Structure 1
Amino acid sequence: MSYYDIDAILTDAQKVPCTFELTVPGLGFLDGNMDGDMKKDSKVELPIWLGEMLSLSEMMNTDSLVTLSIPSALGPRVFNALKADPRTVDLRALASHFYNLATRLLEMYVEDINKSEEQEMIRVLSETFKARAAVIADQANNVRGTLGEGADFLRGLDENERQLFRAAHDSAKSVRAWVAEGMKKK
């Protein structure tokens, strides 16, 4: 992702649960305590970019300030629902950039994930995207005229899926226009 990519910026702004491993003087404002310290074992939700920065010391073989955990949007309940029927899950309600969030967390070292869980997450996310992409393509091809008709369908889609819907809708519209133009020439 590019430095100027708005989707990357919005993904990095999404919050993840973090547990402080050390007491940090003057950082209490992150937990609503304006004058105090952030106590050891405090749990707060921080934007991904901040959580990652505070956990980087672990990679440099020093005590980590925080450990990151999996957010509820990527928790076991959500993955069980995705395994059952990925088409019915409202991904936008979980995270507006659901797939980007999952990708970003899988790229980082997250304490709660081991290799087999990581592979399972990747498999479920891939299957989810494939199943939902088929429905998205079908909906995009069957919506006539403006995207207003597909607004209800768009509500449950994450940003990547919305972009896919728009691209498929615009492509179908262009093909219909091209066919109509070809029929006029006959």
Structure 2
Amino acid sequence: MGSYYNIDAILTDAQKVPCTFDLTVPGLGYIDGNVGGDMKEGSKVELPLWLGEMLALSQNLNTSSLVTLDLPTALSPRVLNALKADPRTVDLRAIAPYFYNLGARILELFEEEEMIEVLSETFKARAAVIADQAHNPRGALGEGADFMRGLDENERQLFRAAHDSAKSVRTWIAEMKKK
């Protein structure tokens, strides 16, 4: 978990994940729009990650959890296959604004070796394009604009840092030439 005051961690934990109730819970039907009713065993609902995790890790007297946490759509086999095919063409922002943070949080809960590999390779491939775009004095204009719109928050921060540092180096070189 991130820092209590870390807005990225808070927004990551607010992302919805699919959960399946393993038990009937009296009075919890309002989560699924059934005010005053019960949450029936087998019900599938999307809950914020923080709540789904808490319910999945909680246990009742029978030592079974209240819910089973399922992989979010953002990390489904379909998305992972698209990332394996060409990570540069996937609009991560549309899938999940905090895509890598969500992946890291899910990997704390699930052992998914393939997901680790796919996310690592995706970040490496996309970071190379981000660095190329950031070092271009025109920034993310022209052909790279569509790619840039699809960046998740971590990638946007990486772009800003790389762009600002490239701009600072150009300014420094110009100042050195004047001396």
Aligned 1:93-132 pairs, distance under 5 A: 93-108=94-109, 110=110, 115=111, 118-132=112-126
Instruction: Supply the AA of the counterpart residue of 1:104.
Output: R
1:159 aligns with 153
2:135 corresponds to which of 138, 141, 161:
141
* Structure 1 runs not aligned, ≥5 long: none
Aligned-partner Cα distance in 2 for 1:60–1:104 = 27
What residue identity is the alignment partner of 2:22?
E
1:57 positional shift: 2.4
Letter in 1 for 2:10: I
The alignment partner of 1:4 has SS state of: coil
Q: After alignment, is 151-160 or 163-172 more displaced?
A: 151-160
CA distance, structure 1, for counterparts of residue 156 and residue 61 of structure 2:
39
Question: 1: CA distance between counterparts of 2:61 and 2:116?
Answer: 27
Alpha-carbon spacing, 1:172–1:129, altered in 2? closer, same or farther (3 Å)? same
Q: Which amino acid aligns with 1:71?
A: P
TM-score, normalising length: structure 1: 0.89
Instruction: Report the CA distance between 1:144 and its aligned residue.
Output: 3.0
Report what 1:14 is aligned to: 15
Q: Which residue of 1 aligns with 2:178?
A: 184
Does the residue aligned with 2:135 lie in a helix, a strand or coil? helix
Separation (CA, whole Å) in 2 of partners of 1:148 and 1:2: 35
Q: 2:49 & 2:146 partners in 1: Cα distance?
A: 30
Q: Distance in 2 between matches of 1:155 and 1:32?
A: 34
1:87 has 2:81 as partner: no
Q: How far has the Cα of 1:119 moved from its partner?
A: 1.1
User: What's the C-alpha RMSD, in Å, of the aligned pairs?
Assistant: 2.0
| Identical-residue share of aligned pairs (%) | 77
Structure 1 residues 132, 59: closer, same or farther in 2, change over 3 A?
farther
Shift of 1:11: 0.2
How far the C-alpha of 1:61 sits from its partner, in A, is: 7.5
Residues 81, 172 of structure 1: alpha-carbon distance in 2 compared, 3 angstrom cutoff: same
Structure 1 residues 132 and 23 mapped into 2: Cα distance closer, same or farther (>3 Å)?
same
Could you tell me which runs of 5 or more consecutive residues in structure 2 were left unpaired when the two chains were aligned. Answer: none
* Partner Cα distance (1:86, 1:55) in 2: 31
